[in-house]
Amino acid sequence: YDLDKNLITQAKALADEMDIPNTGKRPKFDVKDLFEVELDQFSVICTFLLPETMDRLVPTLLVEMMKGSRIISFGWEVPGLGDPFACCRGNT
Q: In this predicted structure, what is the pLDDT of residue 92?
A: 46
Distance, CA of 61 to CA of 71 (rounded, Å): 9
What pLDDT digit, counting tens, does each position of 10-28 carry? Answer: 988 988 888 766 666 677 8
Q: In this predicted structure, what is the pLDDT of residue 89?
A: 54
Number of CB atoms found within 10 A of residue 25's CB: 9
Distance, CA of 60 to CA of 10 (rounded, Å): 27
Report if pTM > 0.85.
no
Q: In this predicted structure, what is the pLDDT of residue 7?
A: 92
State which residues of the chain have pLDDT below 70.
20-25, 82-92
Query: Backbone phi, then psi, for 31, in 5-degree steps?
Result: -85, 105
CA distance readout (Å), 64 to 38, 57, 60: 7, 11, 6
